């Protein structure tokens, strides 16, 4: 992943969006959204080696694969919700962006409940209860 190319692409798309906003705001928003999707997919493809490394780590310890899965899903939820909320804010829908962020937070909490249960059970077994 070349960060310089991503940054230049984003700046060029932003300039086009500002120029188009006067004449056709819908196309300007679409330009921003499409550029965001392209950048997001480039970032995701660059993350694949890190995900593979985490998967290799998960095989080293018993039970770690479930925890790594929860971690990866949580990170995915966070990135998708942040991207969606920012896109909504760019189009002037800040209330909708806040709802997306709330949904992401709730989804992460629900996803992590089994991990919390595991921690509580471990603590209870150490205490002897």
Per-residue pLDDT tens for 15-73?
988 898 889 988 988 998 899 889 988 888 888 888 888 778 777 777 777 888 888 89
Q: What is the pLDDT of residue 96?
A: 92
Per-residue pLDDT tens for 62-87?
777 788 888 889 998 999 999 899 98
Name, in order, each residue with C-beta under 8 angstroms of 112's C-beta and a sequence gap of 6 or more.
70, 74
Give yes or no for residue 129 having a pLDDT over 70: no
Gap between the Cα atoms of 76 and 44, Å rounded:
10
Q: What is the pLDDT of residue 97?
A: 92
- Cβ–Cβ under 8 Å, residues 17 and 29: yes
Give yes or no for residue 101 having a pLDDT over 80: yes
Gap between the Cα atoms of 15 and 31, Å rounded:
10
pTM of the predicted model, to two decimals?
Answer: 0.73
């Amino acid at each position: 992943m070349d960060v310089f190319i991503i940054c230049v692409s984003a700046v060029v798309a932003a300039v086009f969006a500002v120029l188009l906003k006067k004449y056709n705001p819908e196309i300007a928003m679409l330009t921003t959204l499409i550029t965001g999707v392209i950048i997001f997919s480039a970032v995701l493809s660059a993350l694949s080696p890190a995900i593979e490394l985490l998967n290799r780590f998960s095989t080293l310890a018993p039970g770690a694969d479930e925890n790594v899965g929860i971690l990866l899903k949580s990170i995915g939820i966070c990135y998708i919700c942040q991207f969606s909320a920012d896109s909504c804010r760019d189009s002037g829908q800040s209330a909708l962006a806040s709802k997306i962020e709330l949904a992401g937070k709730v989804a992460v909490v629900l996803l992590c409940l089994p991990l919390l249960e595991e921690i509580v059970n471990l603590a209870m077994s150490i205490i002897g209860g």
